[in-house]
Structures are given as structure tokens and as C-alpha cells.
Amino acid sequence: MENQVSSSDNKVLSLYKKCCKYPFGKWFFSKIFCHKAPYFATANPRIKTLRHNYCECVIKKRRSVENHIKTVHVIAICNGLEMAMGAVAEASIPKHLRWIPKGMTVDYTAKSGSDIRCVAEVKQEWQAGDLDVIVTAYDTSDKVVVKGMIHLWVSEKPNK
């Protein structure tokens, strides 16, 4: 992709790479990211991989994210998917553009009885207009438990 953002040009990628150099760096980065959007912290996701157009985070299965049948609640999974999407958007969008979510479409494909890995991927060029981010949640056996799309509106930043 020609509009690829280098980590030196992107504050989020740069901070992620700095944090990864230290013990507990990914944990610390995840805390910082959740501080910017506090609702993400309700699922306590941890970013495991972040690079241009790709992010992966993990939600640990624990009581606070379980539903009445002791599986990870799908809203907690959607929260993790939205965090992965937000991280990949912030780490990938060119400097002259901004984004806002328009909607989310998900299918629940299986029960989620383990830790959940949330993945967000951008497979199209970053440009003004509609952009779809592919989101997928996997259990620990790599079975897809939720799949879908988060729809973004991308626009030019106003001149200051």
C-alpha cells in the first residue's frame, strides 16, 4: 500500500514500539490506550500485535466478561474487536485523514469458552470515504467465534 505509515511518522506505532522494548510494555501500552477510551477497559483487552493495517488483542476469560452460560459475553468480544479496530486505525491512517466509526456488523459463529483473540485488519487503501475494517474473534483453538466488519467514515482533516 502506497500510503503506508511508518512508525516514525505515527505517534501510536512509535509509542507501541517504545513500550515493547520493556518488560510488561505491551500491558502498559494497552493501559494507556484504554485510558484514551475508558470503555475499552471494561473487557481488559491486551494488545499483543500492532502494525500497519493489523492489530491483535486478547481478552482473558474471567468472571467479569462471562455471561450466564459461562462463556465470554459477545458484547465483551465486540468491545475487544472495537479496541483492535481503534488501534489499527490510529496506527495506520495517514496524517491528513481522520476517522470515525459508522457501524458494526457481526455474526456470532460459535460459543466462546476460552480466552479470545480479537483481530482487526484493513485490506483497502486509506482514503476519504467509507472504509471497512475486517474483525474476527478466535478462541484458543483458533475457531472463529465472532466475525464481522466495522464501518468507518474517513475524511480529510480540516485546515487549521
Residues 6+ apart with CB under 8 A from 106: 74, 78, 81, 135, 146, 147, 148, 149
- For range 106-130, the mean pLDDT: 96
- In angstroms, the CA 123 to CA 132 distance is 8
Confidence of residue 1 (pLDDT cuts 50, 70, 90): very low
- The predicted pLDDT at position 8 comes to 55
The pTM of the full predicted model, rounded to 2 decimals, is 0.90
Q: Which CATH class is domain 11-156?
A: alpha beta
pLDDT value for 47: 96
Judged against a pLDDT cut of 80, whether residue 63 lies above it is answered with yes
Name the residue ranges covered by the structural domains of the chain: 11-156
**What local confidence, expressed as pLDDT, does residue 41 receive?**
86
- Return the SS3 of 34: helix
